């Protein structure tokens, strides 16, 4: 059995971070690491990963519906039109992370997402960095925080006008979207994305 795996009362094996909090467990069981290939889905996760930078994912997940409401359902077309008045409104919204740099980055990234449509779109661009193999961690400590692909993706996105897309944040995005499978060996979710064999 992998180190850091906990068997739940439902007899399913999960990593410790997803084993106790019902919200995190549901996210782990149903969403994390499952393939997302549409612009809207990828843009939302890119935005949330940027807001998560320096914070816990649980904090973001608890505020997710508030983020969706505040950011027009993560519609790039609407967000691209946000002006200073909207930024000031967001900065007093206690339901989200009130960070000016991250709010401005989300607006910038919405504009960059629209521009990227001329070259196949955001989802195709992000998935083009899928590696030839995926990690097979037996312990949480064995899960990488960056990869050559996440470094390359970060550089490529910055060139396209994106912000808050550092290599670590992009690796977390790759994990969330199923581009890599970092489920621990022995987890009930290992290999369930259909992208990588168990």
Can you give 72-140 as a three-state secondary structure string?
Answer: HHHCHHHHCCCCHHHHHHHHCCCCCCCCHHHHHHHHHHHHHHHHHHHHCCHHHHHHCCCCCCCCCCCEH
Question: Exactly one of 17, 27, 124, 142 is catalytic; which is it?
Answer: 27
Active site residue 57: yes
Active site residue 27: yes
Spell out the long-range contacts of 17-24 with Cβ–Cβ below 8 A and sequence spacing 24 or more: 17/140, 21/58, 23/58, 23/61, 23/62, 24/57, 24/58, 24/61
Question: Exactly one of 28, 32, 39, 49 is catalytic; which is it?
Answer: 49
Would you name the residues annotated as active-site residues? Answer: 27, 49, 57
């Amino acid at each position: 059995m992998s180190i850091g795996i906990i068997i739940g009362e439902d007899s399913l094996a999960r990593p410790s971070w997803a084993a106790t909090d019902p919200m995190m467990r549901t996210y782990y069981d149903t969403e994390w690491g499952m393939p997302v290939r549409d612009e809207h889905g990828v843009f939302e996760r890119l935005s949330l990963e940027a807001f998560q930078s320096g914070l816990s994912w649980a904090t973001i997940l608890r505020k997710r519906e508030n983020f969706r409401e505040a950011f027009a359902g993560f519609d790039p077309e609407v967000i691209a039109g946000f002006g200073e008045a909207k930024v000031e409104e967001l900065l007093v919204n206690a339901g989200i992370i009130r960070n000016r740099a991250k709010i401005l980055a989300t607006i910038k990234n919405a504009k960059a997402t629209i521009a990227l449509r001329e070259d196949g779109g955001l989802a195709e661009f992000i998935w083009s960095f899928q590696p030839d193999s995926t990690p097979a961690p037996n312990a949480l400590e064995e899960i990488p925080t960056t990869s050559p692909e996440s470094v390359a993706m970060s550089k490529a996105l910055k060139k396209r006008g994106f912000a808050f897309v550092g290599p670590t944040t992009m690796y977390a995005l790759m994990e969330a979207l199923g581009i890599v499978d970092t489920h621990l060996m022995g987890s009930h979710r290992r290999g369930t994305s259909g992208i990588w064999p168990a």
